[in-house]
Amino acid sequence: MALLKVMPSKLAGEVKAPPSKSYTHRAFMVALLARDESKIINPLLSFDTEATIEAIRTLGAEVSQEDDVWRVLGTAGELKPRADIIDARNSGTTIRLMSAIAALSPKLVRLTGDESILARPIGPLIEALNKLGAKARCEGPQGRPPVVVGGGLRGGEVEITGTISSQFISALLLASPYAKENVEITVTEELRSKPYVEITLELLDGAGAKIKRDRALMEFKIPGGQVFKAIDFDVPGDFSSAAFVLAAAALAGGTVRVSNLDVQSAQGDKRIIELLREFGADARVKGKTVEVSGGEELSGIEADCGDNPDLVPALAVLGSVAEGRTRLLNIPHLRLKETDRIHALASELRKLGAEVKEQPDELRIRGVKRLKGAKLTSYGDHRMAMAFAVASLVAWGETIIEGAESISVSYPSFVDDIRKLGGKVELI
């Protein structure tokens, strides 16, 4: 288990945001299903996305790389599994989205992952695939992985909840155009993390998929028998990952610039810019660069984070030292991530001296003047490890964070980037 040692630091300078994890996963999946050769430029190479690349190879794609350009010769939806097992590793996106895609396989395919993945719910998606004609079952208890899928999709009408994970909807949208008959999807209850469905639709639109949807993204009508055209896609920078650097700048800057961020992107987590301003930080957009200057006193905010769960770890850290109270609302789905992130944030930030209360679906935080160093665990969760590293930059004394190897799931260069900005961080 890797340990990350962090000392109080002042940050300044410029780094480049890593490529988007969400776009990378989806681009490779669309390319798998498309006809002919797709080009994916500058994808994120991380523990999670490598699981997806290996998965599409398993299902019949030919994948090659030259520098930052990846070429994928797709299957036109005629999957030919080279093996009957897909290992999603620690990637919830991989196991959920690829479960729907693998349902198109004529042969049954088993999808599994690490201990964290085996604890994450997937039952509603598997039930929906069954209703659409696939052979699909959960082998884990209470609708958990491993899952076994295959047999193809017939089509029809299906309902699926939007409260557990938007990935269920994205998964159905990727696979349904290849059903034999038309598919109608109705999302029940609230659709949380809606921007991730918008990212899926952006890539599907680029591949020529015909998907009718309402403005709220609660109803979809999808003609069957489609085949995607090849895509030529340049992966944008990742606001979800950049949020940690931008939050660190607000706390421990100096002026920090993060390039490769397009505010015109469909990514919901570009909202970090607006939220930093609400906290009182000086955040400016200059083309595709976001510049944040710290040193200003922050004030607590109240934010509905239903669509932006991946921002909550960074926001909770900001709230820990912001004057007054911060409330991060509508986040019950954070309990179903790599770990129970509501509990993990409350538990570990309290070790740093923060005043944090966890509620079933929210975090309540009262800012303190100074955090103090401590020994923390990341629970093997990449976003917890990065959040606690950011908090530790303004904690008195030394902080040790266990499980720092998890950072490579989404932002392999995070430690190097913080060090480049002047952060006193060290893997030990």
Q: Which residues are catalytic?
A: 310
State phi, psi for 99 to the nearest 5 degrees: -65, -45
Angle of helix 167-175 versus helix 21-33 axis, rounded to 10: 20
User: 181, 155 in Cβ contact below 8 A?
Assistant: yes
d(CA 382, CA 411): 8
Give me the count of residues in the chain.
428
Q: What is the DSSP string of 223-257?
A: -SS--PPP-EEEPPB-HHHHHHHHHHHHHHEEEEE
Question: In the structure encoding, which two tokens stand for residue 151, read together?
Answer: 């047999």
Cβ density class 391-404: b for 16+ within 10 Å, e for less? bbbbbeeebbbbbb
Residues contacting residue 303 through CB under 8 Å, at least 6 positions apart:
275, 278, 315, 327, 328, 329
Alpha helices in 36-143 (DSSP H): 47-58, 92-102, 123-131
Counting other chains too, the contacts that 293-297 makes at CB distance below 8 Å and 24 or more residues apart are 293/249, 293/253, 293/254, 293/255, 293/256, 294/11, 294/249, 294/250, 294/251, 294/252, 294/253, 294/254, 294/255, 294/256, 295/253, 295/254, 296/250, 297/323
Helix, strand, or coil here: 65?
Answer: strand
CA dist., res. 243 & res. 228, Å (int): 33
Amino acid at 358: E
Computed on alpha carbons and rounded to an integer, the radius of gyration of the chain in Å comes to 21
- Token pair in block for residue 130: 């069954």
- List, edge to edge, every strand of the sheet that includes 355-359: 302-304, 325-329, 362-366, 355-359
Cα gap 349→27, rounded to integer Å: 36
Owner of token pair 């040193």: 295
